[in-house]
Amino acid sequence: MDACANVEQAAGLSLNLGCGSNKIDGFINVDKYGAPDYKADLELFPWPWTDNSVAAVNMSHVLEHLGASADVFIGIMRELYRVCQNGAQIHIAVPHPRHDNFIGDPTHVRVITPQVMSLFSKKNCEEWAKKGYANSPLALYHNVDFETISLELVADWKFQKLPPAHLTEMAAHQNNIIAEIRMVLEVRK
Name the burial class of residue 147, with classes exposed (0-12), middle (13-18) and buried (19+) by CB atoms within 10 angstroms of its CB.
middle
> Degrees (nearest 5) of the Cα angle 113, 115, 118?
115
Average pLDDT along the chain, 189 residues, taken 10 residues at a time: 41 94 97 97 98 98 98 98 98 97 97 97 97 95 98 95 90 95 98
Q: What is the pLDDT of residue 11?
A: 63
Q: What is the pLDDT of residue 164?
A: 86
Asked if 77 and 120 touch (Cβ cutoff 8 Å), the reply is yes
Determine phi and psi for 137, rounding to 5 degrees.
Answer: -80, 65
Q: Which of 10, 65, 58, 52 is nearest to 36 (CA)?
A: 58
The per-residue pLDDT for range 109-135, each reduced to its tens digit, is 999 999 999 999 999 999 999 999 999
CA–CA dist 78, 81 (Å, integer): 5
H/E segment holding residue 139: helix 138-142
Domains of the chain plus CATH, in order, are 3-187 (3.40.50.150)
Q: What is the pLDDT of residue 41?
A: 98
